[in-house]
A and B are shown apart, each in its own frame.
Chain A
Amino acid sequence: SQTIHQWPATLVQPVGSPLSLECTVEGTSNPNLYWYRQAAGRGLQLLFYSVGIGQISSEVPQNLSASRPQDRQFILSSKKLLLSDSGFYLCAWSVQGSYGYTFGSGTRLTVV
């Protein structure tokens, strides 16, 4: 069965520090992978998506970047965090040509 792992669950980081959030998928090949952010009291915003290794599309200009070094691994990074980067980050996957999304359990990031 397919599973998606996201870690860490919570993270408190000082302003200006780097960030690395990791997401891995099991049980499927060549998935589409996504990073979403949910800020407090706001809806879900798509940050990045990837349709294959090394292929990253950015939806909004921001302080973050994404990478896909392996087929089932998706990483969200920042060199220097801002207060506005605080939020709930969700990774998701879908199979190309099909059939809905599956989300990870999320990472609560607080930048202080």
Chain B
Amino acid sequence: KQEVTQIPAALSVPEGENLVLNCSFTDSAIYNLQWFRQDPGKGLTSLLLIQSSQREQTSGRLNASLDKSSGRSTLYIAASQPGDSATYLCAVTLLRVTGGGNKLTFGTGTQLKVEL
């Protein structure tokens, strides 16, 4: 059974700091890995999607890397801002099984607070 863990569970940093969020998964036979952001009481917003054949993806101040062999992904946030405060979730999809629906397994989340 795929298990996804995120470290740290919570993080508080001053504005402007660069930071790294970690995600690890137990089954390396993944189809892709996706990072989401969730604001309190809101749905999930997709940030970055990394296919299993890729090593990293970048969007603005965000960079996500993937190391399938070690079962790890990191989300790097450059020059953090108070607006980045949210819970960050990583999720993996196992290699597609016919009729299996590409189910996501979510990590436990990292709650980030960026302070002025």
Select one of B42, B91, B101 contacting A105, CB under 8 A: B42
Q: For residue A34, which residues in chain B have a CB less than 8 angstroms away from its CB?
A: 101, 103-104
Check A101/B43 contact, CB under 8 A, given A46-B103, A46-B104: no
The total of chain A residues at the interface (CB under 8 A) is 26
Q: How far is the CA of A88 from the CA of B41 in the complex (A)?
A: 8
Q: How far is the CA of A7 from the CA of B111 in the complex (A)?
A: 26
Which residues on the A side are within 8 Å of B109 (C-beta)? 43
Asked whether A100 and B101 contact (CB < 8 A) given A43-B106, A44-B89, A108-B41, the answer is no
A33 to chain B, nearest CB (A): 9
Interface SS majority for chain A: strand
Does A77 reach chain B (CB closer than 8 Å)? Answer: no
Residues of A within 8 Å of B44, CB to CB, are: 90, 92, 101, 103
Contacts of A1-47 to chain B: CB distance below 8 A: 6, 32, 34, 43-44, 46
Cα distance A92–B91 in the bound complex, in angstroms: 13
| Chain A residue contacts of B102, Cβ below 8 A | 32, 94, 96
Total inter-chain residue pairs, C-beta < 8 Å: 54
**Residue interface bits B14-41, CB-to-A below 8 A is 1, else 0:** 0000000000000000001010100001
Query: With a CB–CB cut-off of 8 A, which chain B residues contact A44?
Result: 89, 91, 106
B34 adjacent to A101 (CB under 8 Å) = yes
Q: Which of B104, B107, B108, B109 lies at the interface centre, i.e. has the most chain A CB atoms within 10 A of its CB?
A: B104
**Interchain CA distance A59-B49 in the complex, whole Å:** 24
Query: Are the CB atoms of A106 and B96 closer together than 8 Å?
Result: no
Q: List 14 other contacts, CB 8 Å, given A49-B101, A94-B102, A108-B41.
A: A32-B101, A34-B103, A43-B109, A46-B104, A51-B99, A59-B103, A92-B44, A96-B102, A97-B96, A100-B46, A101-B34, A103-B43, A105-B42, A106-B42
Chain B residues proximal to chain A, CB less than 8 Å: 32, 34, 36, 41-46, 49, 89, 91, 96, 99, 101-104, 106-109
